Amino acid sequence: MIQIKDFKGFEGQTIETQGWVMNKRSGKGIEFIILRDGSGFAQCIVSEENVSPATFDRAKRLSQETSVKLSGKIIKDDKQIGGYEMHVDDIEIIGESVDYPISNKEHGIEFLMDNRHLWLRSKRQWAILKIRNRIILSIHNFFQKEGFIQTDSPIFTGNAAEGSTTLFSSKYYDQDAYLAQTGQLYGEAMAMAMGKIYTFGPTFRAEKSKTRRHLSEFWMIEPEMAFFDNDMNMDLIENFIKHIVTDVLENCKEELEILERNLSVFKNIAKLRFPRLTYDEAVKIIKGEKTINGKKSTDILIEDLAEVKAQINNKKAELQEKEKEIAGGLKKGVKNFIQNKIDQLKNEISDLEIVEKNIPQWLSSAENFRYGNDFGGSDETVITRMFDVPVMVYNWPHEIKAFYMKRDKAMPEMAKGVDVLAPEGYGEIVGGGERETDLNLLLSKIEEHKLPLKEFEWYLDLRKYGSVPHSGFGLGLERTVAWICGTQHIRETIPFPRYYGRLHP
């Protein structure tokens, strides 16, 4: 049995393949099947004159998502998806598919989410999951080459590493337990044993809000390195992100094309050094008090708003035109085609209208930003709008960072944390920093954060027995997938997303 991705090695030969009927179109005496098998997509042509009447009849009745075994000859055709097509000589039906609920027309997001188990079969979801897979591979390749050891942290934990507000509580036999919101503290212990480690596992946060970048269950990569200060940490993060993006661009061309990802946004990633801004500098940018390349963030936002308004007008004009067109007497096929375009335009307009509403809000929240606060999503968007590569923000007010973040000796109000913000509004993809090594400072922080000291005794041991400077970070897998794929919402970047209000399927 030959997989679609391997068709190119069988040009001119007759082979067998199996898969699902993704789509079908009929001509006179000919049926065009788009077959998918998980490895790729291919057009398979059944022509009446080349097959038995029974086979042709079977081809005519094939419905969407029927599973089939096909045999036929592989022909090169650059115009076709995948570049090769099959001229079918026989069809065997493996599993029928009656009234498949997802068609080619536009569906609402709740409907698609309820049918996530089937929606995964669509081309777009296939492309996203392939890229997710490549990113995972690329992460392992990077760290393994750099001499890191993969270790794993527990999912059941007895302590709340960063306070308990976003924890899922659970029972561990007769004890109270939480699902891990980070593996970091354990990562630190493992780094003291292994030098450089990374964990890669599921993470749980009860984020009680519906945003486009928060899941309740997500995967995080958390490297932790002994003998690393925060500058070394930032160098590592930058190389790491450059590696992932370059690797995906090189190996997922077909997938990125399916997603219609605008690749020009990545053109400088490998070449340019990521800007490193202190928190103080970043705040000035947000408030429009610091220019980048002669421009203030607030001016750029005002320009963006005008651009969005123009785009909305253009799309509305196009919509009107299509609505006029469809009102005339047209063939069913043409009508469906235009209707699809109309639905698509309406969706695009409503997306743009959201941005149109958002920009004035970003502007006012930027103006009112209070020094000392953490950045909200809109603040991150404003900062990254000024650059075309990810931006690192470091040296944060220690009060808004976790208890284990190292205080800067020169500036005691600041902690040596770093966040990496992805462009185009994707926001924070990495949070990390250097870890506190001063036992007394840690003790006072644990008290200040009202954390149960007893649960942290093992962690404090790490400072008593051969403590060394060390740093680490966490990269959210799904946010990275969303950014590279250019998806509107993080929920499409994991097979079965869990977010506020969604537990099924």
At a CB cut-off of 8 Å and minimum separation 6, what does 342 contact? 319, 322, 323, 326
Return the number of the residue (288 or 476) whose C-beta is nearest Mg ion: 476
Query: 59 vs 429, which CB is nearer to ligand ATP?
Result: 429
Query: Does residue number 161 form part of the binding site for ligand ATP (CB under 6 A)?
Result: no
Between CA 103 and CA 107 the distance in angstroms is 8
- Interface region with Mg ion, contact rule CB under 5 A, candidates 259-267, 321-329, 332-340, 423-431: 423-431
What angle is formed at CA 154 by the lines to CA 153 and CA 157, rounded to 5 degrees? Answer: 130
Other C-beta atoms closer than 10 Å to the C-beta of 196 total 20
Q: How far is the CB of 473 from Mg ion (least distance, A)?
A: 9
Among 431, 433, 472, 497, interactor with ligand ATP by CB under 6 A: 431
From the list 151, 248, 166, the residue with the least C-alpha distance to 201 is 151
Q: Which of 429, 442, 446, 462 binds ligand ATP (CB under 6 A)?
A: 429
Q: Does 397 sit near ligand ATP (CB under 6 A)?
A: no
Q: Quick one: tokens of 172?
A: 């561990």
Residues linked to residue 430 through DSSP beta bridges, in sequence order: 420, 475
Rg (CA), the chain: 27
Is residue 479 a contact point for ligand ATP (CB under 6 A)? yes
The 3-state secondary structure of 412-480 reads CCEEEEEEEEECCCCEEEEEEEEECCCHHHHHHHHHHCCCCHHHHHHHHHHHHCCCCCEEEEEEEHHHH
- Quick check: 474 binds ligand ATP (CB under 6 A)? yes
Q: Does 198 engage in binding with ligand ATP (CB under 6 A)?
A: no
In the complex with Mg ion, the residue whose CB is nearer, 7 or 483, is: 483
431 vs 472, beta carbon nearer Mg ion: 431
Could you say which of ligand ATP, Mg ion, none residue 188 binds, taking C-beta under 5 to 8 angstroms by partner kind?
none
Closest CA relative to residue 141, chosen from 193, 55, 200: 200
At 427, phi and psi to the nearest 5?
75, -160
Nearest-approach distance from CB 137 to Mg ion, in angstroms: 25
Structure tokens at 184: 């970091």
d(CA 405, CA 195): 19
Count Cβ neighbours within 10 Å for each residue of 207-225 and write b for 16 or more, e otherwise.
Answer: beeeeebbbbbbbbbbbbb
Token representation of residue 302: 């005002």
How open is the CA angle 249-221-455, to the nearest 5 degrees? 170
With CB atoms as reference, the residue minimizing the distance to Mg ion is: 431
Chosen from Mg ion, ligand ATP, none, partner binding at 430 (C-beta under 5 to 8 Å by type): ligand ATP
> Quick check: 214 binds ligand ATP (CB under 6 A)?
yes
Give 266 or 396: the residue with its C-beta nearer to Mg ion.
396
Report in angstroms how near the CB of residue 81 gets to ligand ATP at its nearest. 33
What's the min distance (Å) between Cβ of 359 and Mg ion?
A: 25
Decide if 262 contacts 486 (C-beta within 8 A). Answer: yes
Residue whose CB is less far from ligand ATP, 207 or 348: 207
CA atoms within 13 A on the CB side of 5: 5
Residue 429 contact partner, candidates Mg ion, ligand ATP, none, CB within 5 to 8 A by sort of partner:
ligand ATP
Whichever of 90 and 280 has its CB closer to Mg ion, that residue is 280
Q: How far apart are alpha carbons 67 and 37 in whole angstroms?
A: 9
- Cis amide bond preceding 101, omega within 30: no
Q: Which stretch binds ligand ATP (CB under 6 A): 186-194, 213-221, 239-247, 408-416?
A: 213-221
- Of 390, 431, 432, 497, the residue at the interface with Mg ion (CB under 5 A) is 431
The stretch among 135-143, 255-263, 381-389, 473-481 that binds ligand ATP (CB under 6 A) is 473-481
Contact of 436 with 404, CB cutoff 8 Å: yes
Residue 214 contacts which entry, ligand ATP, Mg ion, none (Cβ below 5-8 A, type-dependent): ligand ATP
Residues 215-244 that bind ligand ATP (CB under 6 A): 215, 218, 220
Residue 216 phi, psi (nearest 5): -90, -25
Shortest approach of ligand ATP to residue 284 CB, angstroms?
21
Task: List all residues 6 or more positions away from 338 whose beta carbon is below 8 Å from its beta carbon.
Answer: 322, 325, 326, 330
494 binds, among ligand ATP, Mg ion, none (CB under 5 to 8 A by kind): none
C-alpha pair distances (Å), 331 with each of 108, 177, 324, 337, 338: 26, 63, 15, 10, 11
Q: Nearer to Mg ion by C-beta: 359 or 490?
A: 490
Cβ neighbours around 101 below 10 Å, total: 13
Q: Which is nearer to ligand ATP, 407 or 479 (CB)?
A: 479
Least CB distance to Mg ion at residue 464 (A) = 28
The one-letter code for the residue type at 327 is: A
Place of tokens 């808004």: 400
Torsion angle of alpha carbons 424, 428, 434, 439, nearest 10°? 160
Which region among 148-156, 318-326, 338-346, 428-436 touches ligand ATP (by CB under 6 A)? Answer: 428-436
C-beta of 402: minimal distance to ligand ATP in Å? 8
Residue range at the interface with ligand ATP (CB under 6 A); choices 31-39, 61-69, 138-146, 423-431:
423-431
Amino acid in the structure at residue 1: M
Find which of Mg ion, ligand ATP, none residue 288 binds, CB within 5 to 8 Å per kind.
none
CB of 325 vs ligand ATP, minimal distance in Å: 42
Q: Rounded to the nearest whole angstrom, what is the least distance from the CB of residue 471 to ligand ATP in the complex?
A: 14
Site for Mg ion, rule CB under 5 A: 431
Site for ligand ATP, rule CB under 6 A: 205, 207, 214-215, 218, 220, 428-431, 474, 476, 478-479
